[in-house]
Amino acid sequence: MIIPRSHPRRDSLLIRKRLVRGFESGVVAKEGLMAQGRGEAFDYLLGEKTTRPAARAARAAAAALALAKSPVISVNGNLAALCPKDVVRLARACGARLEVNLFYGDQKRRRAVARTLAENGAQEVLGTDSRRLKRLAGIDSARRRVDADGIWRADVVVVPLEDGDRTAALRAAGKQVITFDLNPLSRTAQTANITIVDNVTRGIGRLTASCRSISGRSTAALQKVLDGFDNAENLSESIDIIRANLTRRTAWSG
């Protein structure tokens, strides 16, 4: 189906299309289509734009990545289908390794995700060699299997569109966790060190830009940015934005 240029929700429909294509080519899990629907609902309530708290979180995330010794970006089916080029760009900008890590994991889809990243410029993608996979404690899903050279030894892990179990397990393993999650109330959002409440398709470019603009700063300056960030406070601001948007809508209809 061709989406007319004049359609008021063209961008949102084009994003859906990317996911449907990703599903048809074996990159996205069936459940990934539902996850997108959930995200869209929150995006709508947030006004479908990058909010101030999201921009602040991106800046703190850039500082954490610049301070990291072994940063890793964890890539699932949705992320690979939505914005593969941006993921590769972000990895370059912050010197992170890329690792495929799936919730509904099987080797065929893992390879399909890795192939998508390679086709979009990734030189190396971890997480597909089963001999190199180790088991992270505290997770029952396929996400527990992580690469010995990647998430296993990482100090900072970016986990966009994540589930709460792994976020908690990664934190318990002593890692700093950065996530993109449109739902500020989700367990992942509440458990991560830094939650960017933004659509990953918008927010990832901003994070890459923040990584570039922050590079070259002193360790002390980066640490100051990081120490000045409070995830719980920032999440509350996102919730306030949703509340204000809802109140405004109610006032219109009343």
Q: Which residues is 179 bridged to in the sheet?
A: 195
Please report whether residue 116 would count as binding ligand PTJ according to CB under 6 A: no
Q: How far is the CB of 199 from ligand PTJ (least distance, A)?
A: 4
The amino acid at residue 174 is G
Q: How far is the CB of 40 from ligand PTJ (least distance, A)?
A: 7
For 214, the enclosing helix (H) or strand (E) is: helix 200-214
Helices (H), the chain: 10-24, 30-46, 52-67, 77-82, 84-94, 107-119, 164-172, 187-191, 200-214, 219-227, 231-253
Burial of residue 244, with CB atoms counted within 10 A of its CB: 0-12 exposed, 13-18 middle, 19 or more buried: exposed
Stretch of 49-57, 58-66, 85-93, 178-186 lying at the interface with ligand PTJ (CB under 6 A): 178-186
For 72, the enclosing helix (H) or strand (E) is: strand 71-75
Single out the residue of 18, 22, 39, 72 in contact with ligand PTJ (rule: CB under 6 A).
39
The amino acid at residue 54 is A
Please report whether residue 48 would count as binding ligand PTJ according to CB under 6 A: no
Please report whether residue 211 would count as binding ligand PTJ according to CB under 6 A: no
Q: How far is the CB of 97 from ligand PTJ (least distance, A)?
A: 18
Single out the residue of 23, 44, 104, 229 in contact with ligand PTJ (rule: CB under 6 A).
104
Question: How far does the chain reach from its first CA to its final CA, in angstroms?
Answer: 37
For 5, the enclosing helix (H) or strand (E) is: none
Please report whether residue 186 would count as binding ligand PTJ according to CB under 6 A: yes
Residue with tokens 């289908």: 81
Single out the residue of 9, 17, 38, 224 in contact with ligand PTJ (rule: CB under 6 A).
38
Please report whether residue 78 would count as binding ligand PTJ according to CB under 6 A: yes
Single out the residue of 116, 176, 183, 208 in contact with ligand PTJ (rule: CB under 6 A).
183
CA dist 111 and 211 (Å) reads 28
Stretch of 29-37, 55-63, 121-129, 144-152 lying at the interface with ligand PTJ (CB under 6 A): 29-37
Tokens found for residue 92: 């370059």
Please report whether residue 35 would count as binding ligand PTJ according to CB under 6 A: yes
Residues in touch with ligand PTJ (CB under 6 A): 29, 31-32, 35-36, 38-39, 42, 76-78, 102-104, 161, 163, 180-183, 186, 199-201
